[in-house]
Structure 1
Amino acid sequence: MEALLRSTAGAPPLHTAKLSRLAFSNRIFSAVYASAVLTLIYHHFVTIAHILHNSPTTTTTTMSSLFISLSLLIADLILAFMWATLQSFRMRPVYRTEYPDNLKKVVKESDFPAMDVFICTADPYKEPPMGVVNTALSVMAYDYPAEKVSVYVSDDGGSALTLFAFVEAAKFAAHWLPFCRKNNVVDRSPEVFFAANDCLSSETEKIKVSNFYTI
């Protein structure tokens, strides 16, 4: 970690954050809205106190008024709490710009952290194995050191169909992963890549015909 911190000193940025122009307006609105909410809650307390103070005897009308006031107070307190928990996202909204091309300028590949990816599936009919296989292949084809990426597939249904799909996908991966790294493919999901109209080269057609449709 210390080596990583030293390597990032004075290096090009990996991302930048720009404060939204709406931040100040959001804060003003939140302050006004909070004042209105506090005033409303204060009004509920005053109303309840007035009912209790001016009604020494318990009547049906008094109980109804008290019940309605308490219900409104509880409802407004819940809504106020829900509103307050959402304000942290609006106090300082920022727009981030990432620079993934600078990553290798900042950190050596040998210092990249290891990454574990878990892919879960259960029902091969609701979650077709082809989609799960495409997910696994796209993760395995990440532009990341292969020895630092571990992909785990959890099949809660124990489907033989899913197992067969991954056996065939392992054969296809021997061709697909080198192809992605060699050609710097952006859409690394085979299904998305082969569905595009700009992948009609002889190399891609060979991979598509001889491997992809065997899964």
Structure 2
Amino acid sequence: PTKKGRGGTKNRELRAAMENSLPLHLCHVQKSSAIINRSHTVLHSIALTGLIYYRASFLLQSIKTRDIPILPWLLVFASELMLSFIWLLNQAYRWRPVSRTIFPERLPEDKELPAIDVFICTVDPNKEPTVEVMNTVISAMSLDYPPDKLYVYLSDDGGCSSVTLNAMREAWRFAKWWLPFCRTYGIKTRCPEAYFSAAEDDYGDTQSRDFIAEKEKVKEKYKVFVECLMRIRQNESMVISPDHSPVVEVIKDKSNGAVSADQVEMPLLVYVSREKRPSHPHHFKAGALNVLLRVSGLISNSPYILVLDCDMYCNDPTSARQAMCFHLDPKISPSLAFVQFPQKFHNISNNDIYDSQLRSVFTIKWPGFDGLQGPALSGTGFYMKRVALYGSSMEEGMLVQGYLRSVKRNN
């Protein structure tokens, strides 16, 4: 039972203070796009109505006269009705598109921000190269978020513990060079592979001697890191095992390198390989995420979770703060379950005639979804509220205490 009285009054006062504070985000209806989309929908609907009327009249007349075969025309008419119905359903995405403006500068101080658990899933190092997986891990560790509030978990669902586990240890060592470099120079591309392969640098003063020297040093460290991963793949077995015991290890560096762990603030990095038995269903990625949810509940139990595929690195280091602009906004937070970020792809052909970048999804359907009930869960790149996975109701008392204290102090 929960005590009511002074606690409930305090919550009401804090909620009132939050409502009177500046908003963390604003939602704008794209009026010009809505007018154009609705006009097109009306005109196209009139044309479809005329077409359906013509087909129905023609078929009724043909039935009376019986001068042409009816079955082919019925099939054509049925196909047109089905396609028209599908088109009509798709107009919902275009009816009320919205855009949102965020204000990360209005977030509370770093020490008041809530913690975030990052879940990354991998299975087969033969199909999912270890270098790419570790780049995803490092990009998650490099998020522009307080390191003591960031916990990165990697699920090795293939049972190749020797390969992935040793690779994570090497990633931890390299991250002690990569993270300070990104923080010092404000690097936006936090995935090492993407950064060093880019044609242009995203740092402003690229002619700075200190920057050039530090970049070359980190680049050499990255080459050594990649070579270590290749040696691990060559020397260790990469056979997928459907029958293995569980392994959970918090990654720590035991070497005596030039940079010590206490000099660099590092997020917690955890390796998880769940138990698998042929006689028990493992439910693939859903089962791996369920195990990560339980393990993280014992280690960090962060109120928010970022889920990433092993080949989907963090393209924007500020995404965590952007997500918090929605999760910590009192106007939508009680009913908000997750914040979905769009996906971007590289190595796409210049013509992209098959829309491999999914532009129609991310630029048209998602803003329309947001204007209705919010976007669909895409399986990766989303910040989920942990309590939403547990199925609990969003109560007043479950607001982030750090943000409440910040608002109270400011008021």
Give 1:10-159 correspondences, 5 Å limit. Answer: 10-11=21-22, 14=25, 17=28, 19=30, 21-52=32-63, 54=64, 64-65=69-70, 67-94=71-98, 96=100, 98-99=101-102, 102-159=103-160
Q: Is 1:179 the equivalent of 2:181?
A: yes
Secondary structure of the equivalent of 2:120? strand
Q: Is the 8 A contact 1:115 1:150 kept in 2?
A: yes
- Per-residue CA deviation, residues 42-88 of structure 1 (Å, 9 max, x unaligned), is 33333444445x27xxx8x77x31x1232122211221122112212
Q: Is 1:162 the equivalent of 2:168?
A: no
- Alpha-carbon RMSD across the aligned residues, in angstroms, is 3.3
Structure 1 counterpart of 2:82, one-letter code = I
Q: Bigger relative contact order, structure 1 or 2, given CA contacts below 8 A and separation 6+?
A: 2
Secondary structure of the equivalent of 2:118? strand
d(CA) in 1 for partners of 2:156, 2:96: 41
Question: Structure 1's 145 and 15: CA in aligned 2 closer, same or farther, altered over 3 A?
Answer: farther
d(CA) in 1 for partners of 2:133, 2:72: 53
Q: Is the 8 A contact 1:44 1:72 kept in 2?
A: no
Structure 2 counterpart of 1:201, one-letter code = I
d(CA) in 2 for partners of 1:166, 1:193: 20
- Provide the TM-score with structure 2 as the length reference: 0.42
5+ residue gaps, structure 2: 1-10, 229-411
Deviation at 1:16, TM superposition (A): 5.9
- Provide the TM-score with structure 1 as the length reference: 0.74
Q: Is the 8 A contact 1:4 1:111 kept in 2?
A: no
Aligned residues: 205
Q: Is the 8 A contact 2:24 2:106 kept in 1?
A: no
d(CA) in 1 for partners of 2:95, 2:32: 11
Percent identity (aligned): 34
**Partner of 1:208 in structure 2?**
219
Deviation at 1:177, TM superposition (A): 2.3
Deviation at 1:5, TM superposition (A): 7.8
d(CA) in 1 for partners of 2:114, 2:19: 15
d(CA) in 1 for partners of 2:152, 2:178: 16
d(CA) in 2 for partners of 1:103, 1:147: 19
5+ residue gaps, structure 1: none
Structure 1 counterpart of 2:94, one-letter code = R
Q: Is the 8 A contact 1:140 1:151 kept in 2?
A: yes
Deviation at 1:38, TM superposition (A): 2.2
Deviation at 1:113, TM superposition (A): 4.3
Structure 2 counterpart of 1:24, one-letter code = I
Q: Is the 8 A contact 1:8 1:107 kept in 2?
A: no
> Which range moved further: 126-135 or 161-170?
161-170
Secondary structure of the equivalent of 1:201? helix
Structure 2 counterpart of 1:175, one-letter code = W
d(CA) in 1 for partners of 2:129, 2:156: 12
d(CA) in 1 for partners of 2:192, 2:16: 37
- Per-residue CA deviation, residues 158-185 of structure 1 (Å, 9 max, x unaligned), is 3343332212101222332233233322
**Partner of 1:188 in structure 2?**
190
Q: Is the 8 A contact 1:137 1:173 kept in 2?
A: yes
Structure 2 counterpart of 1:149, one-letter code = L
Q: Is the 8 A contact 1:118 1:152 kept in 2?
A: yes
Structure 2 counterpart of 1:76, one-letter code = E
